[in-house]
Structure 1
Amino acid sequence: MAKSTIVTKTDLKRMDEQLERHLDKLFRKGCDETKSLEVTKKQEWELDPTKLKINVNHLIAEGAYGSVYKGYYNGQEVAVKILDLSNEQRRDILTNAFTQEVSIWYNLHHPNIAKLQKDCPN
């Protein structure tokens, strides 16, 4: 039984490494393709903010660029990432990087990656 556990952990580690390489490649490709992306028109992945309810009392994670909260969109439980845009010097950089991340993530379809439903850039 121990041998199959070791094999499974090795397989998962290998899959994670492959997935990381694949995502890095997609991100680099997406960055190249979206450098001139104009964010003024509504994108396919943008959600209707009136249908989003965020539970600010249920913090899931916090990072250098923002926080992730539990929320609901159209009654479905979702994770909501909120960027900290208080620093004016990095606001444009964060907004552009987030737009690129979302446009790439929205098109990813993999069993080990949570599906991005929609995004609200405002």
Structure 2
Amino acid sequence: IQLEKHLSRVWSRNIEKNPKPKEEWEIELAKLEMSNVIARGAYGIVYKGIYDGQDVAVKVLDWGEDGYATTAETSALRASFRQEVGVWHKLNHPNVTKFVGASMGTTNLKIPSSAEMENSLPQRACCVVVEYLPGGTLKQYLFRNRRRKLAIRVVVQLALDLSRGLSYLHSERIVHRDVKTENMLLDYQRNLKIADFGVARVEAQNPKDMTGETGTLGYMAPEVLDGKPYNRRCDVYSFGICLWEIYCCAMPYPDLSFADVSSAVVRQ
């Protein structure tokens, strides 16, 4: 017992002297300045900010450790965060939103002195920092153009941007698994960039290792909806739905619910 206590003390001292090394994607939060809220989601908030002089978008994810989330939900959020960062930080392509860095905590985050900002930031959180794209989401852009539709050259340009981005991801053996117009961002020149890698993963060698419903109803391939093994082709199906949406500035089968469409996709 005495030996165990001694080893425990030595181990503790070693940890203090040799703190866990930073991950290659970790950033210095002292260099990050937050400004305003630009979007809110189910698990987090997106802020505009500046990091090292560069305009960035900061996605802050609440760990859910305030008593409102179960242990399983908190674990799922942590896994999603590490999954997203692990995939995203290695990517480099003109049609993929540029990853800047991430942090497992928000203790040293500089928050402007406004009630909205102070009240909106979770106490226990992590953050993902990416380039800021002022054009908003492709979904928003299509909605603004729903009455007059898009010129065919714009349709082709957006389709090519998305296809090039997906082709790059697949060449890196990355399956996005949630390809939809809400996860595409636009810059000043209307160039499209793929974002949000929260459910992306490296493609398994054996397709049977990739199962389960992942994605968004209305964009999900039949095999994903049916719980069958799938691969990168599920992204290609979602690309087809996005292409329809880009051309029509509307979702396919607007009179049907996502559940009805999904049921028909699997059965027919």
Could you say which TM-score interval applies, normalised by the shorter chain? 0.5 to 0.7
User: Secondary structure at 1:92's aligned position in 2?
Assistant: helix
Aligned position for 1:113: 96
Spell out, residue by residue over 1:44-86, the C-alpha distance to the aligned partner (whole angstroms, 9 max, x if none). Answer: 011011111112xx22221111111001111211100100223
1:111 Cα deviation (Å)?
Answer: 1.4
1:63 aligned onto 2:41: yes
Q: Distance in 2 between matches of 1:106 and 1:99?
A: 11
Aligned residue identity for 1:112: N
Divergent runs of 4+, >4 A: none
Aligned residue identity for 2:80: A
Q: Distance in 1 between matches of 2:39 and 2:96?
A: 17
Q: Distance in 2 between matches of 1:48 and 1:92?
A: 25
Q: 1:102 to 1:112 in 2, by over 3 A?
A: same
Q: Distance in 2 between matches of 1:41 and 1:104?
A: 20
Find the partner of 1:54 among 15, 29, 34: 34
State how 1:14-93 maps to structure 2 within 5 Å: 41-55=21-35, 58-86=36-64, 87-89=69-71, 90-93=73-76
Aligned residue identity for 1:67: I
Number of equivalent positions: 81
Aligned residue identity for 2:24: E
Q: Distance in 1 between matches of 2:81 and 2:74?
A: 10
Q: Which has the larger radius of gyration?
A: 2
Q: Distance in 1 between matches of 2:34 and 2:75?
A: 24
Aligned residue identity for 2:40: E
Structure 1 gaps, min length 5: 1-39
What is the TM-score of this pair, normalised by structure 1? 0.60
1:41 Cα deviation (Å)?
Answer: 4.1
Q: Distance in 1 between matches of 2:21 and 2:80?
A: 17
Q: Distance in 2 between matches of 1:103 and 1:41?
A: 16
1:104 aligned onto 2:87: yes
Q: Pick the structure with more strand per residue.
A: 1
Q: Distance in 2 between matches of 1:88 and 1:116?
A: 30
1:42 Cα deviation (Å)?
Answer: 1.7
Q: Distance in 1 between matches of 2:37 and 2:27?
A: 21
Aligned residue identity for 1:42: K
What is the TM-score of this pair, normalised by structure 2? 0.29
Structure 2 gaps, min length 5: 1-19, 106-268
| Cα root mean square deviation, aligned | 1.5
Q: 1:88 to 1:71 in 2, by over 3 A?
A: farther
